[in-house]
Amino acid sequence: MLIKRSKQALSFIRENDNKTVVKHVLSHDAHPLIQFAKYGVCGVIAVCIHYSIVYILGYTLLPAIGTEIPLEQKQHNSLINNIAGFFVSGIVVYWLNIRFVFKTGKHSPLVEIALFFAVSTLPLAAGVGVNWLIFQNAEMLRQFHMEKYVEHFANFGFVIASVMVNFLARKFIIFKG
The answer for residues whose C-beta is within 8 angstroms of residue 5's C-beta and 6 or more apart is 31, 33
pTM (predicted TM-score): 0.75
Phi, psi of 17 (to 5 degrees): -75, 170
**Residue pLDDT tens, the chain, 177 long:** 668 877 887 888 888 898 988 888 888 888 777 888 898 899 899 999 999 999 999 999 999 999 899 999 999 999 999 999 989 999 999 999 899 888 888 889 899 888 888 888 877 888 888 888 888 888 888 888 888 888 888 888 888 777 776 766 767 777 765
Which pLDDT belongs to residue 83?
A: 94
Task: Please check whether residue 78 is in contact with residue 131, taking contact to mean a CB–CB distance below 8 angstroms.
Answer: yes
Q: Which amino acid is at 25?
A: V
Q: Helices in 64-149 by DSSP H: which ranges?
A: 71-96, 109-119, 121-136, 138-142
| CA angle 41–101–44, rounded 5-degree value | 15
Beta bridge partners of 103: 176
- DSSP-derived 3-state class of residue 145: coil
